[in-house]
Amino acid sequence: MSPDLLAATGLLGLAGSAGGAVVGLRFRIPVVAGTTVAACACGLVTAGGVLSGGGPVTLEVGGIMPLSGFSLSLDPLGALFTAVTAVIGICAVIFSLGYHGPGLAGRPASTALPLFVTSMLLVPAASSVTTFLVLWELMALSSLILVLSDQRRRAEVQRAGEWYAAMTQAGAAAILLALVLLAGHAGGQSFAALAGHGPGMASWVRNGAFLLALVGFGSKAGMVPLHVWLPRAHPEAPGPVSALMSAAMVNLGIYGIIRVGDGLLGGGPEWWWLTVMGLGAISALFGALHSTTSTDLKRLLAYSTTDNMGLVLLGVGASGIFADTGHRALALIALVAALLHVVFHAVFKGSLFLAAASLEQGGGSRRLDDLGGLLRRMPVTGTVFLVGSLAISALPPLCGFVSEWLLLQAMLHGLPTGDVAVAVAMPLGVAVLALTGGLTAATFVKAVGIGLLGQPRSRGAVDASEVPAAMWAPSGVLALGCLALGVAPVTLVPAVLRAARVVTPAGVGDPLRHGWRLGLAGSRGVLDPVLLGLGLVAAVAVAAGARRLVQRGPVRRTAAWGCGREAQTSRMEYTATSFAEPLVRVFDDVVRPNRHLDVSHTSESRYYVESIEYHSSLDDDAFERRGYLPALAALRRWGDLARRAQNGSVHRYLAFGLVALLVVLVVVG
Amino acid sequence: MSGPWPAATQLAVSTLQVGGVLVGGPLLLGLTRKVKARLEGRTGPPVRQPWRDLRKLAGRERTRPEQASWIFPLAPLVLVATALVVAAGAPLVAVNPAFGTSADLFAVVYLLLLGSVALALAGLDTGTAFGGMGASRALTIGAVAEPALLVAVLALSIPARSSNLPAIVSSSLAHPIWLASPQRLLALGAFLIVVLAENGRLPVDNPGTHLELTMIHEAMVLEYAGPDLALVTLGESARLVVLLGLLANLFAPWGIATRPGAATLAVGAVTVVAKVGALGVGLAVFEVFMAKLRLFRVPELLSGAFVLAVLAVVVALVVP
């Protein structure tokens, strides 16, 4: 396939960005949206060609950047990520046409949006260290501008931006060190050279590069404990941007770990992958717990991104362990499961974030306790959110179930391999998967049940109305994708298999059954999503028919039982906080909410209570409170000390010079 | 597993299982109530009383709370449907019913979760405090029960090297010694506790009470009346039968039909009815001597089940 379309992707992105900077307000949005969608379409076609077996697409442009040139090469692994980004990009950009939220029409945001989308499309295609780093940094900076779109009006946005900037730059620095370390020892900076020399390098180089890459890419993927920016930045960004960040950008963190660990370094010792699995397990549990307790819809979704990336890391880690212990087929299956989950997560999280932005626009708030009753008022958006929620809870026949099933199968079949680490890691992996599954179900029943069902909890929710088609259509397409991919994963599995083969040991036959049924070759059981879906639909239809048969007269609308009270107000409903309270209590030691109880008594007697105030908040998590805030405070103390040392007095500087000279003399002597 | 199964026989087995689960569910409820009543010195209603109740409910008017959306009438259908889909594929009467190759133990767990999620959403859809209370508690228990259940499933799947239900049952028929192995017994303990929790039985929830505040399941379905309530009851009882049937055949598969034929199928049907009936009687006896746990002690019970399941996996790996 010719590289023209890949070049077109980049050029369209640059043109869109220039258009966003130059064109006046009236035509700015159509120009930006049009070029960005076109860039995504070019990327999608290129990636589709590569994924359907067309061979890698390579593009070398000398002279753009000094010394190195610009080199892109899209192989199936990269193409999978490019394709996902392209689909999410198209949906999010079309969505932004109807979105009235903050600041997207402004000049900075219009300039940044095409750059952000295009750099995400091209990062997986980068095939040299400099190209990769330039695109990566472009993605980080443009997304930072987009996160800050609304910073004039709300102080939280600025704080979120600070966290994001610090974490993303620290991550980029770690990636830079890792890649430079590799490039230095490989004697070249193209990925081909790195991959050629990577497996033979000294073990300290390999270990160092892998750990640095894990830190850098892991922070982008929202891996605990480097996740702190994610639940701040994703909710504060404008709706379509949160969808892009949560459904497309975090994937690139996973891509980086796979590319460096499996690709450039050619796999590694077991302890690398046990680390990845461990961090994945902690991320999954931690993200799931915090999304269970969140009452802000977008924050809940952001924490659930950490959760899902944790599950993906479980798969990536399992794949690495299998590859290291020589179980090639299992390594391939585990990686396919992880990559499938990346794709599915993008689809359902994209639809959920877009639907959440619609709910915020329609219902006037993104706090769950201000919403309610929206399924009746915003039927399409509500249904989209419901479908996305069922998919993320891994319920059949939607897509989340397929990838979790495959991951469970990989872990199950890896068990009897006789390796102690595997024997310990795999059951724990299954337990983590199961616990996060249960917590996710609870979380999204809360999100749907409190946010969309019941009585409206605020004026805004009472007056809510459906959003324009430009907004519900893209999220609806993604929700349909959840259903289609859940019933027919066969459409995706060959492409994912091709992507996974790029970085797993060669010489494996076909480890998966082909066709509509998904199963492991050589194992009796299969998953038949079509049959499952048809069976469910048929059984529901039969039950509905039976109910129809016995029904006499129309359904009567009645008042709900209120223990004898006539009126049921929305203040009597369960809130998001009360819904999660039992779970918070069960997991109190992990979650550790901030609780304040103030009881004031009447002046006459201590036995009579005048008022009770109870606050419980989970705004900062344990890692932040225990790790980051003390570290930041220590940094600030050191900064203060350093400032005290520099008071501008000439005498003091002369003294410093003398002391330094003496120290040098002592050391040299 | 011996001899090929004609497709018609497999379909007949599935139909028999679905019908049996539907008809047998309320009868099992009646049986447990009868046994409990007799042990408490009462006569108790006849075993077929739940069916009479269902007939009475089916003739009533359908109602829907003012605030409820289309989720409310849909949830009972989903609940019944998930139980029936499991019943169609699970090895209850015969090892290999239709859809047997796709009857996966993990799929069963997630299908049943779909039913619970539908019911919890319906509870929240009513817009009352009771619905929210029930939904919140049911899902808290569900979230803690699921790891125990899945790890127990894993322990069962290790010897068969497959999570396919017919494969597990036929491999344990082929190696009966596995059934007495410590990992089986540990997994059995975990499975039993989870079955109690998932079906809202004592000591997790009291199926006999009708006081809104103390309950989990009843609070969630408080607003259902008429045919919808009948469907909820039917769905819940079908779930109980399916889970007990699975429990029986996973841990004591004797009698299940392993080859097609009228006689073997009849034996399979009779034995599975007898096993589920015996488990129902056992459940009733257990409930007579058991008090309900405080809600916040339930997670401790379920984490006990989880530990049993993990031990089962560890033992399964050490003792092949």
Give the best residue of B66, B78, B117, B218 to mutate against chain A (max A CB count within 10 A).
B117
Q: Which residues of A376-390 are buried (b: 16+ CB within 10 A; e: fewer)?
A: bbbebbbbbbbbbbb
Q: What integer pLDDT is reported at residue A629 of this predicted model?
A: 87
The number of beta carbons lying within 10 Å of the beta carbon of residue A260 is 26
Q: What is the pLDDT of residues B240-284, one digit of tens each?
A: 999 999 999 988 888 888 888 888 899 999 999 999 999 999 999
Subunit contact A524:B149, Cβ cutoff 8 A:
no
Q: How far apart are CA A626 and CA A248, in angstroms?
A: 30
Q: How far apart are CA A117 and CA A95, in angstroms?
A: 14
Q: Answer yes or no: is B136 within a domain.
A: yes
Residue A613 pLDDT greater than 90, yes or no = no
Subunit contact A525:B101, Cβ cutoff 8 A:
yes
Is A262 in contact with A195 (CB distance < 8 Å)?
A: no
All residues of chain B having their beta carbon less than 8 Å from the beta carbon of residue A564 are none
Q: What integer pLDDT is reported at residue A284 of this predicted model?
A: 94
Subunit contact A441:B314, Cβ cutoff 8 A:
no
Q: What integer pLDDT is reported at residue B45 of this predicted model?
A: 92
- Mean pLDDT score of chain A: 89
Cβ contacts from A onto B, under 8 A: 276
Q: Which of B111, B121, B150 sits opposite A449 (nearest CB)?
A: B121
Give Cα separations from A356 to A211, A364, A451, B278 (angstroms). Answer: 36, 11, 10, 50
Subunit contact B129:A580, Cβ cutoff 8 A:
no
The DSSP symbol for A615 reads E
Q: How far apart are CA A458 and CA B266, in angstroms?
A: 60
Q: Which of B151, B223, B231 sits opposite A560 (nearest CB)?
A: B223
Q: What is the pLDDT of residues B39-96, one digit of tens each?
A: 999 999 999 999 999 999 999 999 999 889 999 999 999 999 999 999 998 899 888 8
Number of domains composing chain B:
1
**How distant is the Cα of A422 from the closest Cα of chain B, in angstroms?**
11
Subunit contact A430:B104, Cβ cutoff 8 A:
no
Is B168 in contact with B96 (CB distance < 8 Å)?
A: no
- Mean pLDDT score of chain B: 88
Percent of chain B past pLDDT 90, that is, above it, reads 43
Is B211 in contact with A531 (CB distance < 8 Å)?
A: no
Residues 6+ apart with CB under 8 A from A523: A409, A413, B161, B162, B164
All residues of chain B having their beta carbon less than 8 Å from the beta carbon of residue A552 are 59, 61
Nearest to A143 by CA among A241, A20, A31: A241
Subunit contact B135:A558, Cβ cutoff 8 A:
no
Give the pLDDT band of residue A417 (cuts 50, 70, 90): low
Q: Which of B58, B99, B157 sits opposite A550 (nearest CB)?
A: B58
Q: What integer pLDDT is reported at residue A571 of this predicted model?
A: 83
Q: What integer pLDDT is reported at residue A66 of this predicted model?
A: 65
Residue B2 pLDDT greater than 60, yes or no = no
Residues 3-22 (B) with a CB less than 8 A from some CB of A = none
Subunit contact A558:B69, Cβ cutoff 8 A:
no
Q: What integer pLDDT is reported at residue A101 of this predicted model?
A: 67
Q: What integer pLDDT is reported at residue A384 of this predicted model?
A: 96
Q: What integer pLDDT is reported at residue A313 of this predicted model?
A: 96
All residues of chain A having their beta carbon less than 8 Å from the beta carbon of residue B125 are 449, 453-454
Q: Which of A433, A434, A579 sits opposite B132 (nearest CB)?
A: A579
Is A618 in contact with A593 (CB distance < 8 Å)?
A: yes
> Which residue carries 């619609």 as its tokens?
A358
All residues of chain A having their beta carbon less than 8 Å from the beta carbon of residue B212 are 563
Q: What integer pLDDT is reported at residue A112 of this predicted model?
A: 93
Residue A311 pLDDT greater than 90, yes or no = yes
Is A637 in contact with A242 (CB distance < 8 Å)?
A: no
Give the pLDDT band of residue A511 (cuts 50, 70, 90): confident
Q: How far apart are CA A165 and CA A547, in angstroms?
A: 57
Q: Which of A450, A528, A539 sits opposite B80 (nearest CB)?
A: A539
For A556, the enclosing helix (H) or strand (E) is strand A556-558
Q: What is the pLDDT of residues B12-49, one digit of tens each?
A: 899 999 999 999 999 999 999 999 999 999 999 999 99
State whether the Cα torsion A505-A511-A517-A523 is positive or negative: negative
All residues of chain A having their beta carbon less than 8 Å from the beta carbon of residue B154 are 411-412, 415, 427, 430
**How distant is the Cα of B43 from the closest Cα of chain A, in angstroms?**
32
Q: Which residue of B has its CA nearest to A568?
A: B128
Q: What is the pLDDT of residues B122-132, one digit of tens each?
A: 999 998 888 88
For A526, the enclosing helix (H) or strand (E) is strand A526-527
Average pLDDT over every residue of A365-391: 93
Q: Which of B104, B143, B228 sits opposite A527 (nearest CB)?
A: B104
Q: Answer yes or no: is B73 within a domain.
A: yes
Q: Which residue of B has its CA nearest to A440?
A: B143
All residues of chain A having their beta carbon less than 8 Å from the beta carbon of residue B124 are 445, 448-450, 453-454, 574, 579
For B283, the enclosing helix (H) or strand (E) is helix B262-288
- SS3 state of residue A610: strand
Q: What is the pLDDT of residues B144-167, one digit of tens each?
A: 888 888 888 888 888 888 888 888
Subunit contact A543:B80, Cβ cutoff 8 A:
yes
Q: Which residues of A447-468 are buried (b: 16+ CB within 10 A; e: fewer)?
A: bbbbbbbbbbbbeebeebebbe
Residue A387 pLDDT greater than 80, yes or no = yes
Give the best residue of B163, B168, B215, B319 to mutate against chain A (max A CB count within 10 A).
B163
Say whether residue B51 is in contact with chain A using an 8 A CB cutoff. no
Subunit contact A454:B124, Cβ cutoff 8 A:
yes
> Which residue carries 């999280």 as its tokens?
A349
Q: What integer pLDDT is reported at residue A102 of this predicted model?
A: 63
- SS3 state of residue A430: helix
Give Cα separations from B184 to A414, B71, B251, B312 (angstroms). Answer: 20, 40, 7, 7
Q: Which of A431, A560, A563 sits opposite B151 (nearest CB)?
A: A431
All residues of chain B having their beta carbon less than 8 Å from the beta carbon of residue A400 are none
Instruction: DSSP for B140-156, please give it.
Output: HHHHHHHHHHHHHHHHH
All residues of chain B having their beta carbon less than 8 Å from the beta carbon of residue A453 are 68-69, 71, 121, 124-125, 127
Q: Answer yes or no: is B75 within a domain.
A: yes
Asked whether this complex has an ipTM greater than 0.85, the answer is yes
Is A193 in contact with A179 (CB distance < 8 Å)?
A: no
Q: Domain range for residue B221?
A: 7-318
Q: Answer yes or no: is B143 within a domain.
A: yes
Q: What integer pLDDT is reported at residue B114 of this predicted model?
A: 94
All residues of chain B having their beta carbon less than 8 Å from the beta carbon of residue A413 are 161
Residues 28-47 (B) with a CB less than 8 A from some CB of A = none
Q: Which of B167, B222, B310 sits opposite A561 (nearest CB)?
A: B222
Nearest to B186 by CA among B282, B55, B314, B90: B314
- SS3 state of residue A552: coil
* Lowest-pLDDT choice from A115-124, A324-333, B168-177: B168-177
Give the best residue of B53, B146, B198, B228 to mutate against chain A (max A CB count within 10 A).
B146
Q: What are φ and ψ of residue A558, in 5° steps?
A: -125, 165
All residues of chain B having their beta carbon less than 8 Å from the beta carbon of residue A560 are 65-67, 126-128, 131, 223
Subunit contact B62:A517, Cβ cutoff 8 A:
no
> Which residue carries 């890391």 as its tokens?
A313
Residues 232-271 (B) with a CB less than 8 A from some CB of A = none
Per the model's pLDDT, the better-predicted residue between A135 and B156 turns out to be A135
Helical residues (DSSP H) of A2-128, grouped into ranges: 4-22, 25-49, 76-98, 107-122
Q: Which residue of B has its CA nearest to A401?
A: B110
For B64, the enclosing helix (H) or strand (E) is strand B63-65
State whether the Cα torsion A205-A210-A213-A215 is positive or negative: negative
The number of beta carbons lying within 10 Å of the beta carbon of residue A169 is 14
Q: Which of A431, A523, A579 sits opposite B161 (nearest CB)?
A: A523
Residues 6+ apart with CB under 8 A from B275: B244, B245, B248, B249, B252, B255
**How distant is the Cα of A410 from the closest Cα of chain B, in angstroms?**
11
Q: How far apart are CA A338 and CA B28, in angstroms?
A: 43
Task: Name the E strands within A81-221.
Answer: none
State whether the Cα torsion A283-A284-A286-A292 is positive or negative: positive
Q: Answer yes or no: is B2 within a domain.
A: no
The number of beta carbons lying within 10 Å of the beta carbon of residue B122 is 30
Give the pLDDT band of residue A414 (cuts 50, 70, 90): confident
